[in-house]
Amino acid sequence: MIGVFKTNIDSQHDKNQVLKALTEQFEASACSVDLEDCDKVLRIVCRQTEENVIALFVQELGYQCTPLD
């Protein structure tokens, strides 16, 4: 599954924390946040997991996270 999300992650520190947590929780093979993009786009490649599960996980970490189409 490839998930693409709009977030409010805005610092390198926050990015590193979120990516580490996502990689561990969802066994992501690839994960990134584009801090330069106005939507702070999060992309994750992982085993079959529903987008809303990933969005909820990031929200529980304290960030906004909405799936993009």
How does pLDDT run along the chain (69 residues), one tens digit per residue?
Answer: 999 999 999 999 999 999 999 999 999 999 999 999 999 999 999 988 899 999 999 999 999 999 997
CA atoms within 13 A on the CB side of 66: 7
Residue 59 one-letter amino acid: Q
Q: Which helix (H) or strand (E) covers residue 3, if one does?
A: strand 2-7
Question: Is the pTM above the cut of 0.75?
Answer: yes
Q: What's the length of the chain?
A: 69
All structural domains of the chain: 2-67 (3.30.70.100)
CB within 8 Å of 40: residues ≥ 6 apart: 6, 7, 8, 9, 10, 33, 34
- State phi, psi for 27 to the nearest 5 degrees: 50, 50
